[in-house]
Structure 1
């Protein structure tokens, strides 16, 4: 990390400008997510990797992701539109996928809801059930 707060992954391919404390996030990031594998992937895949990497970050949103990529929010929206989705749907899908991982690790539903940015566990349960058709507790049992 530079003193300006920018992280340079590869000068040839760009940088990720972030004004956040990455120490707590960095230990959760898989090394394979930060290697050249991401350079060869499509824009949508790189976007999904970035969202997955910061899925528990409190500032996760369109502005945060566009800052990571160093582009406008509209560019992110265009990428998603070209793939038949939008930012909200992408976030919901990835949060639910991450929730499944956390449920399989036997983390409490309340903790999962908090980690994914839900103020109320019932909102998390409702969103999860809408996506998968079963509640988180029922999913865990099966």
Structure 2
């Protein structure tokens, strides 16, 4: 009898907990995208300079790899969100290619001495759908 009462008490507690969580939020549209957008639009924080940079940003972390571009080079490939140490025309820069929506751009946008070299970006496989 004691075990039956324990089971009944457990079932009742679970039922009350489940019913109580349904009243936790008055907005019934939580599953809809407009609910999320409303929270984002109400956010008081402004985007950072790195988030607004169209070609990425100078990195403070170690580079994933180092690329030395010879004079007369025409292009090189990079994966989006990859951090590289670029050696071009006697200059070095560590750069993170955070370029959402950009497929290619002139490297001279980052390193003025790299005139005529194009950066081609491929998607990072960690961020592609399956």
Structure number with higher helix proportion: 1
Q: TM-score if structure 1 supplies the norm length?
A: 0.22
Larger Rg: 2
Give the structure, 1 or 2, with the largest relative contact order (CA under 8 Å, sep 6 or more). 2
Structure number with higher strand proportion: 2
Q: TM-score if structure 2 supplies the norm length?
A: 0.23
